[in-house]
């Protein structure tokens, strides 16, 4: 039971990701067949975090806010109403960001309550076929999930799914959800001056229409030497919209860097030696192509360097194993062998002895390099090296006390 006396969300929808029919009504409606239109919990402060576009850093901001608020002594809850990137956890379809928060912070909330509405590939079509039947069920599910997530919490972070209008086609946009849950909204936008202010104006218009107050803007991924300039002029632009700028987060290149396992997945690679468990979480900080001599490559090696070369470049592979064996410091985090070429076994044995992970792929070197450089890197539960950086960046660059006062 929740603190309000209402039942907590005990299970999610089936594999379709959609509650429907009498079973849904019996599961989520009250004994007399009515459904909640708003959470029973009206008192716990709540922040709805939305972004102006995809990959603006909304999940990273939520991670940092969660850790920063907990650092201030608050018992923090979390919910992501609409799940679009689905994974299965304990038999429930949930958003991968929900699993991320749960794994990192042990939030002590049932996973299905943190991710109540799972959107699979046919959800929209099914909803549009029966909107009058399904909308009250979905709203009820959302409200009861929030009541569970807010139980005994001082504050709840509600993570949206992209910009304010995402989900409008099934009447469950970020603005809709924030309105239903009675939450005030913080918008996360990318760096710049004109574009973020324009995008914030568009998003704020939809929030206003749904009766949701936008209490602040956080700019993310701003170049360090531009922070004060951007803060000044974006702050002026936002004042015209009646919205305060409450934080400017610097671009930290390390946070955008993948680990070796993520790279292997991106390029459809296969591990040649068996360092994936031990070294798969190593951060790739720099990518170099082996289009150079064995002498020249030495100047480009170091911690976090990923070397991409065809598997028939015996000269470079010998050199890499020799440099690694004679150095006290790491010379590379891994080697990608392209064109599906694999060197002789004795070279592989030397690389294994030097403890350099080796991966093979069918693609050629330029294609592999381009794929890696264009990766959109999402924080994963195993990225324990990133979390302290994210928390510190948020604590140091967001006016948390000002944010809490506006709730």
SS (H, E, C) 190-254: ECCCHHHHHHHHHHHHHHHHCCCCEEEEEEEEECHHHHHHHHHHHHHHHHHHCCCEEEEEECCHH
> For 295-366, where are the E strands, in sequence order?
305-310, 334-338, 358-360
The reported pLDDT for the residue numbered 91 is: 86
The reported pLDDT for the residue numbered 9 is: 37
CA 385 – CA 257 distance, rounded (Å): 11
Q: What is the CATH number of domain 260-373?
A: 3.40.1390.20
The reported pLDDT for the residue numbered 31 is: 54
Give CA separation, 293 vs 15, 328, 342, 368, in Å. Answer: 54, 23, 19, 20
CA 47 – CA 28 distance, rounded (Å): 25
SS (H, E, C) 56-89: CCHHHHHHHHHHHHHHCCCCEEEECCEECCEEEE
Using alpha carbons, select from 401, 306, 353 the residue that is nearest to residue 68. Answer: 401
Cβ 170 vs Cβ 127: under 8 Å: yes
Domains 21-253+384-406 and 260-373 share a fold: no
The reported pLDDT for the residue numbered 30 is: 54
The reported pLDDT for the residue numbered 16 is: 40
Structure tokens at 128: 């549009």
Using alpha carbons, select from 320, 332, 336, 334 the residue that is nearest to residue 368. Answer: 336
- Which residues does residue 156 pair with via DSSP β-bridges, in sequence order? 46, 77
Buried b vs exposed e over 12-48: b needs ≥16 C-beta within 10 Å?
bbeeebbbbeeebbebbbeeeeebbeebebeebebbb
Give Cα 402 to chain centroid, integer Å. Answer: 25
pLDDT means per 10 residues, the chain with 407 residues, are 40 39 37 83 96 88 95 96 88 89 90 92 91 93 96 96 85 94 96 93 95 96 94 95 96 89 94 82 92 89 94 92 89 94 93 93 94 89 87 95 94
Q: Going by CATH, does the domain composed of 21-253+384-406 fall within 3.40.50.300? A: yes
Annotated domain spans of the chain: 21-253+384-406, 260-373
SS3 338: strand
SS3 343: coil
Structure tokens at 344: 């002789």
CB atoms closer than 10 angstroms to residue 128: 12
Using alpha carbons, select from 268, 42, 265, 58 the residue that is nearest to residue 156. Answer: 42
The reported pLDDT for the residue numbered 12 is: 39
Total H helices, total E strands in the chain:
17, 15
Q: What is the pTM of this model?
A: 0.83
């Amino acid at each position: 039971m929740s603190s309000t006396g209402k039942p907590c969300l005990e299970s999610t929808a089936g594999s379709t990701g959609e509650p429907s029919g009498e079973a849904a009504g019996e599961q989520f409606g009250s004994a007399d067949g009515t459904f909640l239109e708003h959470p029973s919990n009206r008192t716990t402060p709540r922040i709805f975090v939305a972004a102006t576009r995809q990959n603006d850093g909304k999940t990273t901001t939520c991670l940092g806010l969660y850790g920063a608020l907990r650092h201030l002594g608050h018992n923090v809850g979390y919910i992501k109403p609409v799940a679009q990137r689905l994974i299965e956890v304990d038999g429930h379809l949930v958003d991968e960001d929900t699993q991320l928060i749960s794994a990192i912070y042990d939030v002590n909330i049932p996973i299905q309550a943190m991710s109540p509405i799972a959107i699979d590939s046919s959800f929209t079509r099914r909803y549009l076929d029966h909107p009058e039947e399904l909308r009250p069920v979905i709203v009820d599910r959302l409200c009861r999930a929030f009541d569970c997530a807010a139980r005994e919490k001082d504050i709840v972070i509600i993570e949206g799914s992209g910009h304010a209008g995402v989900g409008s086609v099934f009447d469950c946009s970020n603005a809709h959800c924030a309105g239903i849950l009675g939450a005030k909204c913080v918008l996360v936008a990318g760096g710049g001056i004109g574009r973020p202010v324009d995008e914030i104006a568009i998003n704020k218009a939809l929030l206003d229409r749904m009766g949701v107050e936008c209490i602040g803007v956080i700019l993310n991924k701003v170049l360090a030497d531009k922070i004060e300039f951007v803060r000044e002029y974006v702050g002026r632009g936002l004042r015209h919209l009646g919205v305060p700028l409450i934080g400017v987060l610097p671009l930290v290149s390390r946070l955008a860097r993948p680990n070796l396992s993520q790279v292997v997945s991106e390029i459809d690679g296969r591990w040649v030696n068996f360092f994936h468990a031990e070294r798969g979480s190593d951060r790739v900080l720099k990518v170099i192509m082996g289009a150079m001599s064995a002498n020249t490559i030495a100047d480009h090696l170091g911690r976090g360097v990923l070397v991409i070369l065809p598997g028939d470049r015996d000269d470079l592979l010998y050199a890499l194993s020799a440099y690694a064996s004679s150095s006290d410091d790491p010379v590379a985090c891994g080697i990608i062998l392209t064109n599906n070429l694999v060197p002789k076994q004795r070279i592989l044995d030397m690389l294994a002895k030097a403890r350099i992970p080796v991966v093979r792929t069918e693609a050629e070197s330029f294609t592999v390099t381009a794929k890696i450089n264009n990766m959109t890197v999402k924080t994963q539960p195993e990225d324990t090296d990133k979390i302290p950086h994210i928390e510190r960046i948020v604590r140091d660059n967001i006016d948390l006390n000002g944010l809490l006062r506006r709730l």
